[in-house]
Amino acid sequence: MQNKKLLASIVCGALLSAGISASDIKQGGTLNVPIITTGFVENFNPYTSKDVFHGIMFEPLMVFNNMTGETNFRLAESATYSDDLKTITVKLRDGLKWSDGEPLDASDVVFSFVLTKNSPAFDLKGIWSGGNLQSVEAKDGNTVVFTLAEPDSTFIWNLEKYHIVPQHKWSGVENLTTFTNPDPVGSGPMTTVKFLKSQQMELCRNPNYYLEGRPYLDCVSFRSYNDNSQIQPALMKGEIDWGSNFIADIESTFVARDKANNHFWYPANDAIHLYLNTKEAPFSDLRVRQALSMALDRDLIVDIAAYGYPTANFNAGGIGELYETNINKDISKKYSHLTEFNQKKAKALLDEAGLKDVDGDGYREKADGSPLAFDIEVVNGWTDWIQVVQMVTEFYDEVGIKSAIKTVDWAVYDKNLKESNYDVAINWSMVATNPIIAYQEYFSSSRVGKGWHAGHGVNDPNIDALIDSFGKTGSAEEQKEILDKLQAFTAENMPFIPLFSNPTWFQYSTKKVDGWPTKENPYVQPVWYDGGKRVIILNNLHLK
């Protein structure tokens, strides 16, 4: 039965860099990484600091490694489901300590999860609001038991996303949402704040880290940049070692400057969509949503706006190249006309929907004669997506639709997506162990108002039940049938328009630091913005 027993080898303790033994590794050195932000402030609360500290200052219980299919246990040494899929027993490693030397045990884990129940804003995956989690209890100093009301073989995937925080430091805090966690205590590889300035922050090694000899590096230096356009020259000049952002013409602007040390690897990542607010006209009309999809030349958008790095996504079923093995080819073919570049058909659908150019100015009006115009929201500084949206508006212009780019700060974007306060927004999809998590984020009613992907307005109690049924079975065949139905539902309702499968943006320099994941040694998906993947990489990086 899938996930009944999670017994994986602890690969995090083994050096994954090919041809290097642990005895050859030099301790020391600083890793320089870019962060797109207006500046750093003294806030070490992992829930209110854009998740910068997960996997660095705060170690996850485990990491579900979608690149290898393994479970990389971290603070936990094992996790086991009961036969009825209603109980998960997590065993912690022996002798864990916080960075201040205090013991880290099961009571800290229980405290950390109950904290998210009492502070719903921190319930990142809705484990409490979803209603299934009944209790989290410590059976002894090393054993934590999660009790569910209903069987759910997928529930365990949520656990890696929650921050384990020290009870002895956090238990007396009155308002956790405004708590900045001064003088932080953590469990990750880098917990010592060496210095913090507006444009730079440096975290250094945890003196009580649970993996002997790790991290190999002394420190991680975060450098503040306003947007991708500032990161590119910093990479070119060797100011940063690890890039996780779009870089224009990477071969000539970065690799060619130092072919021996400048590298990139772009494995498949999330599917990028245009999310439509179906609660508002004209997006409430399915014909309009279909027309907006058919109006786009995805190949041209990828080649010109994204330099050919992504893969155009013609699957209307909601998932892209990352989950290629899960895509039902028959369903994708059945709805392939919805992603075909066909402006003639797009115009006909818009006419059918009553959106016509009445006054002859070249742009369509709504049925009541009022102007048809809308914004497409994107984060200020996300230069690659801004270029994509620019091309999208040009294609819409060709079918008589007036649209415009609306750039906003991250905080506004985050709020608007969760509150459905947008016309159209370019947004990603969930990267997870299994695509059922992506569908949960798209459609589960419990995620509305909490996630970035569920604000489009297409919800159905039957789909809620279908998604929930996935975790009640361990049959791969039954789970495939559920995923097939969800793909068909997505294509039939088109709450978002597929654009392309994003690459995993990953540029790295081996001039000073080595141990990186590569195409030849793909030990983890190289994602900086995922704390679990980040900590695995940090534990393997070392001076060259």
For 237-276, the pLDDT digits (tens) are 999 999 998 888 899 999 999 999 999 999 989 999 999 9
Q: What is the mean pLDDT of the chain?
A: 93
Residue 196 has pLDDT above 80, yes or no: yes
As a whole number of angstroms, the distance between CA 97 and CA 264 comes to 36
Q: Which pLDDT score, from 0 to 100, does residue 526 have?
A: 95
Query: Quick check: 306 and 388 in contact, CB under 8 A?
Result: yes
Give the pLDDT band of residue 125 (cuts 50, 70, 90): confident
Which phi-psi region, left, alpha or beta, contains residue 257 (left: φ > 0; alpha: ψ -120 to 50)? alpha
Count the helix, strand and coil residues of the chain and give each as a percent rounded to the nearest 5: 30, 20, 50
Residue 8 has pLDDT above 60, yes or no: no
Q: Which pLDDT score, from 0 to 100, does residue 11 have?
A: 39
DSSP H/E element including 13: none
Report CA dihedral (467, 468, 471, 476) to the nearest 10 degrees: -40
As a whole number of angstroms, the distance between CA 346 and CA 492 comes to 16
Residue 29 has pLDDT above 60, yes or no: yes
With tokens 């975060």, the residue in question is 222
As a whole number of angstroms, the distance between CA 370 and CA 360 comes to 13
Mean pLDDT of 179-188: 97
Give the pLDDT band of residue 432 (cuts 50, 70, 90): confident
Mean pLDDT of 467-494: 94
Contacts of 230 (CB under 8 A, 6+ apart): none
Q: Which pLDDT score, from 0 to 100, does residue 22 have?
A: 63
Task: Please count the CA atoms within 13 angstroms of the CA of 333 that sit on its side-chain side.
Answer: 3
Residue 469 has pLDDT above 90, yes or no: yes
**Beta partners for residue 133, in sequence order:** 148
Give the pLDDT band of residue 2 (cuts 50, 70, 90): very low
Q: Which pLDDT score, from 0 to 100, does residue 519 have?
A: 93
For 299-332, the pLDDT digits (tens) are 999 999 988 999 999 999 999 988 988 999 999 9
As a whole number of angstroms, the distance between CA 373 and CA 375 comes to 7
What domains can be seen in the chain, in order of their start residue? 60-171 (3.90.76.10), 190-267+505-543 (3.40.190.10), 268-503 (3.10.105.10)
For 337-351, the pLDDT digits (tens) are 999 999 999 999 999
Give the pLDDT band of residue 26 (cuts 50, 70, 90): confident
Mean pLDDT of 194-203: 94
Q: How many CB atoms lie within 10 A of CB 165?
A: 28
CB < 8 Å & 24+ apart, contacts of 463-466: 463/489
